[in-house]
Amino acid sequence: MSGHSPRIVLAGSVTSSRRTLEALVRHRANLVGVLELTEELAPQVSGFRRLHDVASTAGAPCATFRNINAPEIIEQVRAWQPDLLFVVGLSQLVKPELLSVPTRGCVGFHPTHLPKGRGRAPVAWLTLDGTPGAATFFLMDDGADSGPILVQEPFDVTSADYAEDVVRKTEDALDRALDRWLPALLRGEWNPRPQDDAQATYHGKRGPEDGLIDWREPAERIHALIRAASRPHPGAYTYARRRKLIVWRAEVDKATPFRGVPGRILDLHPERGALVQCGEGLLWLNEVEWSGDAPPGRLSVGLKLGVDLEDEIVRLQSEVEALRERIAHLEAQLHPAGAQS
């Protein structure tokens, strides 16, 4: 890529996309086009951000899309004739037809220390495991985060970090990575470094249902789940009086001399919240939220959180049996024995 500043197009829809775009503008990159996800899809995207205002400031054309692989979007990218297409903060898979448009390739972003941690839900897994991350820009191929690395900026993740802390650290590291790499890129330097596939590890998808708290787990493990599932994710949750209770923040207690049944609330504190017995250790629920539109419920000492499956199965069996008896009674009233049709 020596000899000229590369022609760059950026596509994205979230804060990391915007910060990458701002860095390209800050370093006076040859920005020839921007693609932003349509605002109609904003409710489906955590941390959705528009890009058109930054593009306008830079004098770059901006187009919106619903599907990054739509024929009209591919044709638009072709018309811009990019050397590089940055795809940052977009959950849609870029298919081979679009990957082949830029003369040099497509640049992706991932917040783990690749080849470690390839795959889905990287922020949640980093928070859950408390392992270091890295703002990594890489050359996209047909694998999962497996292409050659262009720049990598590490950051720490501690056992006290919540998901939103890891997001902030990721974005700060993203800025540092771009400020270190872009000047060389724009001078025409190009030195992608192949990943060592033998060192690769992979993370699978995490969904909202994976935030269900099992109170038989140790307090430290539950605390990690709460931190990983917290904002901007849907939140870890349990049930209280058959209503869903989201737990946004918590703290492990290693000093209070209480002992109880896992899931049982042992104490209440006006600032620390509810103290709950776990399978091993105690946990203060500092911030909770009742799900749904019903008025907020109340937590009380002695209340047991979660669902006891055997009790629920027996309860449901009893209700089914009562319904059967009621149906039999109604049928007997409608069709008494010996009645003429």
Domain co-membership, 197 together with 218? no
Domain co-membership, 32 together with 121? yes
Tokens 């047991």 -> residue? 304
Domain co-membership, 145 together with 37? yes
For residue 237, what are the domain limits? 210-307
Q: Is the pLDDT of residue 2 over 60?
A: no
Given this model, what pLDDT does residue 1 score?
Answer: 46
The residue out of 203, 227, 247 marking a domain boundary is 203
The tokens describing 226, both together, are 């709460």
Span 64-71, average pLDDT: 97
Given this model, what pLDDT does residue 315 score?
Answer: 80
200 confidence band (pLDDT: 50, 70, 90):
very high
Q: Is the pLDDT of residue 337 over 80?
A: no
340 confidence band (pLDDT: 50, 70, 90):
low
Domain co-membership, 282 together with 214? yes
Domain co-membership, 17 together with 163? yes
For position 19, which CATH number holds?
3.40.50.170
Domain co-membership, 194 together with 221? no
Rounded CA separation 220/169 (Å)? 22
By C-alpha distance, which of 251, 262, 284 is closest to 214?
262
Domain co-membership, 142 together with 235? no
What residues contact 63, with CB distance under 8 A and at least 6 apart? 33, 34, 35, 36, 73, 76
Rounded CA separation 315/101 (Å)? 60
For position 254, which CATH number holds?
3.10.25.10
In a domain, 312, yes or no: no
Predicted TM-score of the model (pTM): 0.88
Q: Is the pLDDT of residue 305 over 70?
A: yes
Rounded CA separation 138/180 (Å)? 14
- Calculated CA dihedral for residues 149, 151, 154, 155, nearest 10 degrees: -120
The residue out of 203, 221, 243 marking a domain boundary is 203
E-state strands within the chain: 7-12, 30-37, 62-65, 84-88, 105-110, 118-119, 133-139, 149-155, 202-203, 236-240, 243-253, 265-269, 273-277, 282-290
Residues 17-52 have pLDDT tens digits of 999 999 999 999 999 999 999 999 999 888 899 999
Q: Is the pLDDT of residue 73 over 70?
A: yes
Q: Is the pLDDT of residue 80 over 50?
A: yes
105 confidence band (pLDDT: 50, 70, 90):
very high
The residue out of 203, 228, 259 marking a domain boundary is 203
Domain co-membership, 30 together with 164? yes
**What is the number of domains present in the chain?**
2
Span 80-98, average pLDDT: 95
Q: Which of 43-57, 182-196, 283-297 has the lowest mean pLDDT?
A: 283-297
- Return mean pLDDT, the chain: 94
Domain co-membership, 165 together with 231? no
